[in-house]
């Protein structure tokens, strides 16, 4: 009897997304059917549907993207039995991606107001779930600019410079970073250069938090991670030594900082000038800052 080949999730998703991006939907359906025959419509199947939705949406297959997103959402909701679902679990990833795709399609089809209303409903539905941070990120990306800056918990990272709410009276740049993130290290160097160029015309506040690991997959106790974070801060983030570093997950939640790094510019009147999830090139960041300092 032939031995069934071992299932490789990464390879499966790679093939699935490649087929989705090129519009080869019979191949997509064949791959999904093979997985269903092997394991059923489980949590990973729901996550796979959401990846298809994202890949198809990125290439302009709007109708197919919406169908896959809604199927992923429905299937994941039906399996969401735990009171709290870990943010990186397949169900959380499936729901987050499905909601993001639906939101993006609403923006392009019906406008920002429809997307905002949709995301607000989803945030209320999943307000107890840790993955709400991803929903809030999508909402902030559309609606936060022009609004008062959400407050920060100013408890500092041990041995860092303390800060206060007065800094959110701007001009200020919030730079959410993670000790394990290479993009954060790159962005930190950019922020330091621009800070020097602007001659102290803007305050930098650099919130961070613990994530449960030192490197991805290497889960450790809080004390071990904190010691690692402090070591990395000295080596890779020396220019943050004179910046307040508010410490804790609540700040990341309020600002929807599920993508690392996340940046927010705060005007002198305390309103948000811009919100950006992901790395921002030096010239783009400096341009955005000069618009309100």
Give yes or no: residues 191 and 232 share one domain.
yes
Residue 271 within a domain: yes
Residue 157 within a domain: no
Give yes or no: residues 203 and 126 share one domain.
no
Per-residue confidence band for 83, with pLDDT thresholds at 50, 70 and 90? confident
Q: Report the CATH number at residue 218.
A: 3.40.30.10
pTM (predicted TM-score): 0.92
Q: Which of 143, 178, 208 lies at the terminal end of a domain, its last residue?
A: 143
Residue 126 within a domain: yes
135-169: per-residue pLDDT in tens? Answer: 999 999 999 999 999 999 999 999 999 999 999 98
Residue 56 within a domain: yes
C-alpha to C-alpha distance for 262 and 133, rounded to whole angstroms: 12
State the distance between the two ends of the chain, measured CA to CA, in whole angstroms: 72
State the average pLDDT over residues 222-248.
95
> Structural domain tally of the chain?
2
Q: Report the CATH number at residue 65.
A: 1.25.40
Residue 155 within a domain: no
Give yes or no: residues 180 and 263 share one domain.
yes
Residue 212 within a domain: yes
Give yes or no: residues 279 and 216 share one domain.
yes
Q: Provide the residue range defining the domain that includes 129.
A: 9-143
188-217: per-residue pLDDT in tens? Answer: 999 999 999 998 899 999 999 999 999 877
Residue 96 within a domain: yes
Tell me the average pLDDT of the chain: 94
Q: Give the count of beta carbons closer than 10 Å to the beta carbon of residue 214.
A: 18
Strand (E) positions, the chain? 172-176, 203-205, 262-266, 272-277
- Regarding beta strands 262-266 and 172-176, do their DSSP bridges make them parallel or antiparallel, or are they unpaired? antiparallel
The answer to whether the CB of 64 falls within 8 A of the CB of 58 is no
């Amino acid at each position: 009897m032939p031995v069934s080949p071992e299932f490789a999730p990464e390879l499966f998703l790679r093939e699935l997304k490649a087929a989705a991006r090129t519009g080869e939907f019979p191949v997509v359906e064949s791959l999904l059917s093979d997985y269903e025959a092997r394991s059923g419509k489980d949590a990973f199947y729901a996550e796979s549907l959401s990846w298809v939705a994202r890949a198809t949406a990125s290439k302009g297959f709007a109708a197919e993207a919406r169908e896959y997103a809604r199927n992923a959402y429905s299937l994941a909701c039906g399996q969401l039995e735990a009171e709290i679902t870990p943010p990186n679990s397949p169900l959380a990833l499936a729901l987050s991606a499905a909601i993001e795709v639906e939101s993006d399609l609403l923006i392009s089809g019906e406008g920002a107001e429809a997307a905002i209303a949709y995301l607000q409903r989803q945030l209320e539905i999943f307000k107890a779930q840790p993955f709400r941070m991803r929903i809030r990120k999508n909402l902030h990306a559309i609606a936060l600019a022009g609004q008062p800056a959400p407050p920060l918990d100013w408890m500092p990272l041990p041995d860092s410079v303390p800060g206060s709410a007065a800094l959110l009276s701007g001009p200020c740049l919030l730079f959410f970073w993670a000790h394990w993130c290479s993009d954060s290290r790159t962005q930190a160097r950019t922020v330091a250069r621009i800070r020097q160029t602007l001659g102290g015309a803007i305050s930098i506040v650099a919130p961070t938090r613990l994530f449960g690991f030192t490197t991805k997959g290497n889960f450790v106790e809080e004390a071990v991670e904190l010691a690692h974070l402090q070591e990395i801060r000295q080596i890779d983030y020396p220019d943050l030594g004179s910046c307040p570093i508010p410490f804790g997950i609540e700040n990341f939640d309020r600002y929807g900082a599920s993508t690392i790094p996340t940046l927010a510019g705060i005007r002198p009147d305390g309103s948000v000038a811009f919100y950006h999830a992901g790395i921002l090139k030096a010239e783009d960041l400096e341009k955005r800052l000069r618009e309100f300092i």
